[in-house]
Amino acid sequence: MAWWTNDRFGMFIHWGIYSMAARHEWVKHNEHMTNEEYQKYFDFFDPDQFDPTAWAKQAKAAGMKYAVLTTKHHDGFCLFDSKYTDYKATNTPAHRDLVREYVNAFRAQGLKIGFYYSLLDWHHPDYTMDDAHPLVQMDTSQANYDRLNKGRDMRKYRQYLRDQITELLTNYGKIDILWLDWTWGKGDKRGKHAEDWGAVELLKLIRKLQPGIIVDNRLGLDDYADGGDFETPEQVSPTQLAPYRGKTWETCQTFSGSWGYYRDENSWKNDHQLLDLLITSVANGGNLILNVGPTARGEFDYRAKNALDSLSLWMHANSRSIYNCTYAPEEFKVPEGTRLTYDKSTRRLYVHLMEYPGTHTLVLPGYKDKIRYVQFLHDASEIKSKVDGADVTLLLPERKPNVEIPVIELMLK
């Protein structure tokens, strides 16, 4: 896990034919669509502006070190050229293996490669009903459920899973992360459970095919010793991250609310909120994977681009407080209105000014005799201080530096 916990920051990419509907990657479920009704997105999927090198450069500029792309989402559509289905990008007007192009481009930019793969499949004829399946939504009665389940055989679907995972982990070189999604409803007949996926065997297969790979925890194997490498708190607020301290985890978050491209959604997080997520993740010893939902033409939309540009600016100046960092040792109290991160290898402590103090001073409680030198991180400009009893008071400039969240770097004794 070492590279992953050092890198701290990744890009999630949710892209598929649902990007055409442009109203959530669950649109097939939300609008109770049949395969026939959903087919138009397959027939017209033509990402003529898809340029994965541009994606990779934007990710890298924003300071992201790894990426995870949806190779198949719940709708069952495959962005890769699988031997085991016709429901794939090569048979749409895109006519190519989009996963291969992603892998080549991101690898060339030096990013680590991850695959998201949906365990759910709302297109496969052998995938049985559950309470998330689009076809169940219009009539949840047992009679309808049984009727829809007729002739479906999960054993065949399990084999399909194994075959596709084998393709993904064999045909694209070294894969660093596998993000399997998801398992739910323990003890509930209308959920999907570890046994439905043959999860134990599947995980063994994954580890055999790619011994170095990191796998998320959504296979439903919480009670199994080797059941997943990291926890995945989804769309939680920064204040909900503290309980994860000491575990290995990555919070997955969207720029807005939806993972897939959603044209009419207006709840985009601002720069401060995005940075808060990144900083607070590291301040609690975790990673952040931030999602873009490219358009069906294959581009990040302007809101995502603007957000990534702001992250680039901040990371250019302050990434030292993120990479290789974790929460501060307990002896360092968190000063009012700040978050702390700490780099053990350099013995530097980073104080993030979430709100710029109106007093132009910052009290570091009990920090006397612990500090050798203090500066702003973005420009290495000295910050003067005075000692008050056991505390150190930093004397900050009256004007907030031109950085969304300024960072103070303390060289510790």
Interaction site with ligand GLC (CB under 6 A):
14, 25-26, 181-182, 234, 252, 259
**Alpha carbon distance 230, 244 (integer Å):** 11
Task: Pick between residue 103 and residue 252 the one whose CB is nearest to ligand GLC.
Answer: 252
CB of 277 to ligand GLC, least distance (A): 14
Nearer to ligand GLC, 186 or 360 (CB): 186
Calpha distance 159→152 (Å, rounded): 13
HSE, CB side, 13 Å, CA atoms: give it for residue 343.
17
Q: What distance in Å separates the CA atoms of residue 223 and residue 252, rounded to the nearest whole number?
A: 23
Q: Which tokens in the block code for residue 168?
A: 């993904």
Minimum Å gap between C-beta 232 and ligand GLC is 7
- Packing angle of the helix pair 199-209, 154-170 (nearest 10 deg): 20
User: Minimal distance in Å, beta carbon 259 to ligand GLC?
Assistant: 5
Q: How far apart are CA 20 and CA 33, in angstroms?
A: 15
Nearer to ligand GLC, 291 or 385 (CB): 291
Kindly tell me which of 76 and 335 has the beta carbon lying closer to ligand GLC.
76
DSSP 107-147: HHTT-EEEEEEES--SS-TTPPP-TT-HHHHT---HHHHHH
Q: Is-contact 13 55, C-beta < 8 A?
A: yes
Q: By beta-carbon distance, which residue lies closest to ligand GLC?
A: 252
Alpha-carbon span 10 to 4, nearest angstrom: 9
Nearer to ligand GLC, 18 or 367 (CB): 18
Shortest spacing between CB 221 and ligand GLC, in angstroms: 16
Q: Terminal CA-to-CA distance of the chain, rounded, Å?
A: 29
Nearest distance in Å: CB 117, ligand GLC: 11
Give the SS3 label for residue 102: helix
| For ligand GLC, the closer CB: 177 or 410 | 177
Residue 114 CB, shortest distance to ligand GLC, in Å, is 12
Considering the complex, state which of residue 184 and residue 268 has its C-beta at the smaller distance from ligand GLC: 184
Least Cβ distance, residue 168 to ligand GLC (angstroms):
16
In angstroms, rounded to a whole number, what is the distance separating the alpha carbons of residues 132 and 357? 48
Closest CA to 308 of 269, 257, 279: 269
The answer to whether 15 and 25 are in contact (CB under 8 A) is no
CB of 260 to ligand GLC, least distance (A): 7
Task: Using the minimum distance from each CB to ligand GLC, give the nearer residue, 181 or 299.
Answer: 181
Whether 83 contacts 167, CB under 8 Å: yes
